[in-house]
Amino acid sequence: MPVAVRTVLDDRVARYVRRVKEEQHATEAAVVQDLVQTGYERMLRDLHARYHNGELTFRMVASKLGLSVRELYELFEQKGLPV
């Protein structure tokens, strides 16, 4: 379920958001959403790599992401990441 959040951005991040907003004629919310989504994807792939390398179990990754085992299986499958 989507959630709406308010946050305070670091000055450098805020300047980046303003620049992209002007460049792409986007809203600040859209730019921040994109940043958050990019960060999430990167974190997901990092956790997947740690699972793949035997540092974490599948369930540890699920726990870190707040997902059930079945939800994580689906997420990995959607992203083309092997179990």
Partner 1 sequence: MHVWDATSLITCAKFQVDGRLLLDYALDADTITIPMEVKEETVDSGLPRGFPDAVEIRRRVESGRIAVRAAERLSDPLEEVLELYGLQEGDKAVLRMALHEPDDVAVVTDDRLLYIVIQRCERGAMFLPDFVEKHAARGAFDAPTALKLLMAMRSRLPAGFVEHSARRLEGVI
Q: Summarize as ranges the residues that interact with partner 1 (CB under 8 A).
A: 51-60, 62-63, 68-71, 73-74, 77, 82-83
Provide, rounded to whole angstroms, the least separation between the CB of residue 35 and partner 1: 29
**Toward partner 1, which CB reaches closer, 54 or 66?**
54
**Toward partner 1, which CB reaches closer, 16 or 73?**
73
**Toward partner 1, which CB reaches closer, 21 or 52?**
52
- Residue 31 to residues 6, 10, 25, 36: CA-CA distances in angstroms? 14, 14, 10, 9
Distinct helix (H) and strand (E) counts, the chain: 4, 0
Instruction: Report the distance separating Cα 23 and Cα 26, nearest Å.
Output: 8
